[in-house]
Structure formats: structure tokens, C-alpha cells
Structure 1
Amino acid sequence: MMDARIETILQGESETVEFKKSTSLVKEAIQTLCAFANHHGGYVVFGIDDHGRVLGQQVSDDTLKNIANEVKLNTDPKLYPSIETIEIQGKTCVLVAIEESPLKPHFAYGRPYRRVGTVNQQIDRDMYEYLLQQRFNGYGFDHQLCQGAALKDLDPDIITYFLETANTVRNLNEQIFLPHNILLEKLDLSREGQLTNAAVLLFGRNPMHFFLQHYETKCGLFPSDEGYDEILDDREWRSNLLLMFLDVFGYMTEHIHKQTRKNAVYRTEEYEFPLTAIRECIVNMLVHRDFRQNIKNTIEIRPAAITFMNPAHLFAPAITIDLLKKPHVSRPGNKLIAKIFHLMGLFESWGSGTLKIVTGIRHAGNPEPQFDFANGLFRVILPRKEA
């Protein structure tokens, strides 16, 4: 029986098939792979000319490796197609297959392409923004499988902490007693025994072992409102996201202003900002950050303001800076991570997180918080009363 792929290929070039007579045309092939990944996937076949004549292809030990390297080096986000030799009409060809990507839009040589019929068309701005929205409304970075990660790489104490917290907040009932591998599957944090990036980021013993990106959070305490030459204290966290949240929140409560008030019975501490607003700012950084960008989350504590910054995407026109101070839809960039924080009572699924920051700050009599998005970086700025 003929291989179904060969049957498809012999039907000629199409929306999912393109021929290249030689691997010398690898640049054009990479543009096509990009177009396929941004559409419905497809095959590039080296060794067949534009007229559908099977010429064959000389294949050395390094041929497949060189194609893979060229694809990886010249696509962003990087593509990892399946590459193999295949016999067609008695001649050796190279078959490069790519699936539709959940991370589209992809770029090839700095430009995004999409397959339309038998042609690769450069994606216009409207389509680019649409694909971005589709990416983050669908499966993003946190949903991808984490290569090489196993259950032993997760911290069981952190999973237990999550379960106990979520059970208190959401009443998980029997789920709290499930074996961890089954629990992770029920939470969509693993598929067919393989952990997702979300599982490792949330519960990993050492997430940095699996991610080269600077996904950590860095905090600096500065004596002035400008410059980085002088710093009073700085801290950096590289733990899993749940520990990171606890550590960053603890650090912030130690380094924002507070007053101790006493009465006949109680002693209370009043912070310059509502702790609920500080918590929302930290959770926002962790849940909404773009983990593909090699940029750290940062918090700058300065005399005039505290600034929280993370790499992110806004989903215009559905979400704009102006809408963040009003009720709006929630479109987290990392749905699985958002789900875990939501189960723990730390993340609102109705888009009310930034609204809570605004209302909490206003109620406390602080200056109006500011939101800013530029060059792929989202900032929450909390002006201080003394400024």
C-alpha cells in the first residue's frame, strides 16, 4: 500500500505541498515552512521540480542536519520540522513536514508568511494581530510540553501547598487525594505522561534547568528616582512561580512604608499601599508575562513610585490601556498558569485584577496608578504619597 503522504505529494503542489528540485533552495523552503506553520501545516519535498517531475536528491550524512539547523536559525519563534528521506518513484527525496503551529505567527528571515493556495504571502498587519490574538486565546508557551522534564523534577511540597490552598479556597474535594501524576493530567498540566511548561514553571524544583530565558524576577531598592548607579538593595528570584510569588510578596511587605498603630487591645500595621493591590501587581507580572522573551520581570522601588514591569502582550482591540481601569474581559497570556493561580484565589478570571489595583489604591487615598505598554513591556506604576 502506498504511503498516504506520497499519495498527497503526487497530487501536485497545493496549499499544503511544495516542491523544491534541490536543497540549494533551502531559503525558499524555509519561507514555505513558515507559511505552512502559520496556516494548516504541510510538506516541502526536495527532489521534485516545479512541474512535478521526480528528480531525486543526493543525501549525505549532514544533509538532514544542515536543513534542520538552517530552519532553526532563520525562524522565530523557532520551527522544528520533521525531516527524513523518502522513496518516491524509486528515487530518494527529502521530506520536510511541519504542523500548524500553536505559536503562530512565525517569521522566516525577519518576515511572517502565510500559505494562500500555492503561494506564500507576506502577512499584513491585520492578519498578524489576528494570529497573535489566536495564539494567546488558544495554546501558548505554558501549554507546550517541556522536553526532558519528568515528575521527579517537580517539588511535591509545592504541589501539596497548592492543593491545600486551592482546597481551602475552591473546595477541590477528592482531587486533593489523587496521585500527583493523575492530578496533573486533570489540571491539563501533563499530556500522555509528559509535563507541560506550566507544570515545570509552577512546581519545578529547578525550572531554570529547562528554560534558558531570563524568566526570573528582579527587584531593586533605589535612593533616587532616576539612574541605576546607586542601589540600596537588590534581590533576584529564580524559583518556581508559586515560591516566587510568596518570596516577592514577602520582600515587598518589608520594603514599602508602613506605620504601626496601637490601641488598648490590638497592634496593627498600616501599609502605604493596600496589600491586595501589591499582590495583584505581582500576580499580574507572573501570569501575563511573555515567557518567550529573554527579558526579566523587574520591580523598581524608588522614592516617587514603585514600578512593576514584565514582557507581555496586550490584546488590542479587545483590551487597551484605557480599559484596564474599567471592567474588561480576561485574556491571560498563559492560561494554564492563570488557572492554577485562580484555583488558589490569587487570580481573577473576569479581568478584574487591574480594576482591583485601581479601586484599592483610590480607596486608600493614594495617587492614581498608571498603566503603560510599549515595546512589548507592560508597566504598572504606583505613585507614592510622599512624591
Structure 2
Amino acid sequence: MIPKAESLHTEFKTSFSDEVIISLVAFSNAKGGSVYIGVNDKAELSGVEIGKETIQNWVNEVKNKTSPQVIPDTEVIDMEGKTVIVFSVIEYPIKPVSLKGRFYKRNGNSNHLMSIDEIANEHLKTINTSWDFYIDPNHTIDAISFDKVDRFIHKIEQRTQSEIQITPREFLSKMEIIREGKLTFGGYLLFVSDYCMISDIQVGRFKSDITIIDSISLNSDLFTEVDEIIAFIKKHLMVEYIITGEPQRTERFDYPLDAIREIVINMIVHRDYRDSSGSIIKILDDRIEFFNPGNLYGGISIDDLLTGNYSSKTRNKLIAKAFKEVGLIERYGSGIRRIIDICSSYGVKQPVFEEVFNGFRVVLFKEKTDGTKDVKDTIKDTANDTANDTVKDTIKDTVKVAISKNQKTILELITARNNITAEELVDIVGINLRNIRLNISKLKAKGMIQRVGPDKGGYWKVLKS
């Protein structure tokens, strides 16, 4: 029986040529498939004429032109007085397979010429390892900080409640971070002592798509980058204080911190560090965008990610293993589902996952799903809505003095959050920095607020009139 159309596993050819061998190579590098010789691309029989040695000669040509050698299974089909030859191959266990030094892979119903990265990845999967396990020819063990290694080991000891009784260097060898006495690519990224060019990450707070008001550039070890990225993002989030009746107030940020942490860790662990471009995080007024070089690994799609219909495959096995050892990764392959669940529980719009610009992007939104106000608006209303009687009474007493609408808004914001900065007030109140400072000066002159401590590290105190 002839299939009705070409597909992931089916190709039609009217005659034997190198195009047939290209398809067999592409099938060998994917999930296997069959080439029907004597069928046109509309699935119509054209047939082929063959002699006694024709099929064997074709098989030998396939074998001689491929590396590793591919020997297809053959079948002869006689239909409607015409002969069709079927060449079939399974997924080849040793990849990638090439035709005259060119590598192809089946993608949908067509053959795709593989890139250098795809070729390397197929080779690494074949030997059951990953790029980060390989010895780094450009750096020696002197390039890493053993203070950082000691902290890494201590975290493992704390998590496992057991003491590691070998030297740090022996431990790194046991984990294959050092191999044959030499540093691996993964070991360099995990514990580099100084500047690391290939771990470049840019993080910025944007007022618009092109206007940046604060940024950091990171080129350090991967564990440090996780901490510094999360600290920078947290600095630029709005927070509301929820009075629960307990002695300590509950903080609620406008984005779920657990989701941010999960996304950042996934960025660091799964990034393609062989790509010359860097990772980028953009914090905007209504969303945070996380971009990583490298498409999804292991042939999975966005739909596979969202439905969970895939087996976990890791681009950087050594890095992932190190993060798991210290408890930063709980379970392989569960990060996306956890991010979605966190956002759902937090009551914010579901994140977007997409492949763009030869990379992977996650967009996290602050918009709430229940129609309630975001943290910025909640802070404005906190002074009137909170169950904290002290805050209520303070506002009631102070507004008896004649103040402008902007001054009242600033007063409410300071009452709700006493460490709010002038720059954050600009974003919320909607006036420029000069006018923010002018209004603050007027509130101070009226004896309504007082600054305690320095500009950096201090806080506002609201005074009763």
C-alpha cells in the first residue's frame, strides 16, 4: 500500500538519484522512514524499470556514499502494472549520518540541511554526554576559585546533612568537573574566579521598549549570576504590604518571585553557551522578558512543553547536575509546568513561551487574572483600604492640612511603603523627578514627613499634624 502523502516518515521519488540518498540520510538522523521510488509528489504511480542487479547496485551506492554507512531495507511493490521500490531505514544509533560530508535531518515532510550546532548536538547525544563535559582547551584549573568550590561543597553538605570527606579537587574529579586532571567547559562556567566572556547576561529596567533607566552587565560564575539577576529584578518590583493580623506584615510583589527564580535558573542551566550572543532580561512597566540564545533542545516543540508531552533532555548535563546537587533544580523537565502553576496560583496572566531569533523567550506579565488592581495601584489605595488602624489614622490626621492631589498621592505611597524611592514615585505618580522632589520638600516643610537616614538605605517617616 502506498501512503497518501509525504510526511515525517515518507518521501516520494520518481527515480533513483542522490535525492533518494539525501532522504535516507535525513530519516536516519531523525526517526526513520521510507522512500518510495516510482511515485510522484502527488502520490501518483509512475513506476520504475529495473533489471536483475538494479536494486543491489542502488543499495551499494547508498552504502558507499554515506558515513556511517547506511544499508536500507528494500521492498518491491507491483501495483496497477507498475513497479515501485521502497527503501526503508530506522533511526540510526550513531549520529549524525552524512552524504558526501553534508548532514540532513527530516523536518515535517521535507529534508533539512543541518547546522553546525545541530551536527554537534547529535554527536554529543550519540556518546551520551554534553558540551560542558568536554575539557576546556583555553583555561586551566587556575582559572577557577576554590573558595567558590568550597561554598558549593558546603551547600551540598547542608542539603544532604552529610560531610564530604575528600578534598575539593578530588570532589571535582568525582563529579567530572575536572577530567584527566583538566578543567571542563562546565567547570569553568560554574566556578570562574574572575571575568567570564561566555556567560554574558544583560539585565535592564526599561521605561519604554528603547528607553533604559537602570542596568547591569554580568560576566561571572553561574551561581553568582543567579543571585545577582534575582536581586536586580527584585529591586525594580513594586511591593504591597498585606496586614494579616500577624505581628509581621506580608509582602506581595507585582510578579511571583518563585516564577522569576524558576525562569532565571532555567535560563542559566539550559542556555547554549556556544552561541556568541548573550542572554537578555528586559523589565518593562507591564512585563518582564527573558531571552536566551539557543532553541529548544532535543527536538521538542512549544506545544510539547506546554502539554508535558516530552521526555526531558538537557543541553548542559554537567551544569544541570551541579545545580541539582545544591537543590536549585528539584526535578529535571518540570520547570515550565511549575512556572505556569506558580503564575496561576498567584493570580497573574499566564506567561508566554516562544522561539524567536534562534533563541527562546519567556514573557512574564504583571496583569492580574481576577480584574483586581496591580501592586502599583494597590499601594496607592493601601492607606485607605488597609486594616492597619495606625496607617489609616495617620493619613486622616495629615490630610487635614491643605495639600495638592500629587502630594496626597505621594503621602499615601510613603505611608504604605516607607523605603520607596523618588524614581519609583516618578513612575507611579506620573510627574517628572524635579516635581517629585519639589512636592516632597513641601510635605517636609508642612511637617508631614521626615527622612530618617541617608538617601540610600534610609526611609520615610510620616508625622502626625
Determine if contact 1:218/1:296 at 8 Å carries over to the other structure.
Answer: yes
Aligned to 2:223: 242
The answer to whether the Cα contact below 8 Å between 1:133 and 1:315 also exists between their aligned partners in 2 is no
Measure the CA separation in 1 of the matches of 2:142 and 2:304.
Answer: 43
TM-score, reference length from structure 2:
0.53
The structure-2 alpha-carbon separation of the partners of 1:131 and 1:198, relative to structure 1 and needing over 3 Å to count, comes to closer
In 1, are the aligned partners of 2:269 and 2:316 still within 8 Å (CA)? yes
The sequence identity of aligned pairs, in percent, is 28
Is 1:149 the counterpart of 2:131? The answer is no
State which structure, 1 or 2, has the greater radius of gyration over its C-alpha atoms.
2
Q: C-alpha distance in 1, partners of 2:133/2:363?
A: 30
Cα distance, 1:191–1:306 mapped onto 2, change above 3 Å: same
Contact persistence 1:136–1:331 (CA under 8 A)? no
Note the C-alpha offset of 1:157: 2.1
Match of 2:190 among 202, 205, 216: 202
The runs of 4+ residues in structure 1 deviating greater than 6 Å are none
Name the counterpart of 1:293. 275
Higher relative contact order (CA 8 A, sep 6+): 1
Shift of 1:249: 1.3
The 3 A distance-change label for structure 1 pair 347 and 39 is farther
Q: How many residues align?
A: 270
CA RMSD of aligned residues (A): 2.8
Instruction: Rate the CA distance shift 1:136–1:258 in 2: closer, same or farther, 3 A.
Output: farther
Within 2, Cα distance between the matches of 1:362 and 1:174?
Answer: 39
SS of corresponding position for 2:304 = helix
Is 1:123 aligned to 2:107, yes or no? no
Alpha-carbon spacing, 1:261–1:184, altered in 2? closer, same or farther (3 Å): same
- 2:305·2:336 contact (CA, 8 Å) conserved in 1? yes
8 Å Cα contact 1:151-1:181 kept in structure 2: no
Spell out the pairing of 1:133-144 with structure 2 (5 A cutoff): 133=122, 135=124, 138-144=128-134
Alignment map for 1:169-318 (pairs within 5 Å): 169-171=159-161, 173-175=162-164, 177-206=165-194, 208=196, 211=197, 213=198, 215-224=199-208, 226=209, 228=210, 230-262=211-243, 263-315=245-297, 317=299
Q: CA–CA distance in 1 between the matches of 2:218 and 2:68?
A: 38
Instruction: Summarize deviations over 1:322-360 as a string: whole Å, max 9, x none.
Output: 232343432121000000111111124431111110000
| Distance change in 2, residues 1:220/1:331 (3 Å) | same
- Counterpart CA distance in 2 for 1:240 and 1:312 is 19
The 5 A counterparts of 1:37-186 are: 114=98, 119-125=100-106, 128=114, 132-133=121-122, 135=124, 138-171=128-161, 173-175=162-164, 177-186=165-174
1:268 Cα offset (Å) = 2.6
Q: Secondary structure at the match of 2:212?
A: coil
Distance 1:352 1:358 in 2: 10
Kindly tell me: are residues 314 and 187 of structure 1, through their superposed partners in 2, closer, same or farther at Cα, counting changes over 3 Å?
same
Displacement of 1:369 after TM fit? Answer: 0.7
In structure 2, what residue type is equivalent to 1:287?
Answer: V
C-alpha displacement of 1:232? 1.0
The separation in 1 between residues aligned to 2:102 and 2:122, in whole angstroms, is 20
Matched letter for residue 288 of structure 1: H
In 2, Cα distance between the equivalents of 1:200 and 1:332? 18
* 1:243 aligned partner, one-letter code: T
SS of the residue aligned with 1:323?
Answer: helix
Question: By how many angstroms is 1:253 displaced?
Answer: 1.6
- Cα distance in 2, alignment partners of residues 134 and 202 from structure 1: 24
- Judge conservation of contact 2:297–2:315 (CA < 8 Å) in 1: no
* TM-fit CA distance, 1:133: 4.8
CA distance in 2, matches of 1:237, 1:315: 24
Q: 1-side partners of 2:234 and 2:167: how far apart?
A: 35
Q: 1:283 to 1:131 in 2, by over 3 A?
A: same
Distance 1:342 1:320 in 2: 24
**1:259 counterpart letter in structure 2:** E
Query: How far apart in 2 are the matches of 1:125 and 1:183?
Result: 42
* 8 Å Cα contact 2:124-2:131 kept in structure 1: no
Distance 1:183 1:324 in 2: 35
Hey, what's the Cα distance between the residues in 1 that align with 2:122 and 2:267? 19
Separation in 1, partners of 2:134, 2:316:
11
Distance in 2 (alpha carbons) for counterparts of 1:337 and 1:278: 19
In structure 2, distance between residues paired with 1:294 and 1:131: 16
Whole-Å separation in 2 of the counterparts to 1:298 and 1:374: 13
AA aligned opposite 1:145: I
Between 276-285 and 127-136, the greater mean CA deviation after superposition: 127-136
- Point out where structure 1 has 5 or more consecutive residues left out of the alignment: 1-34, 41-101, 106-112
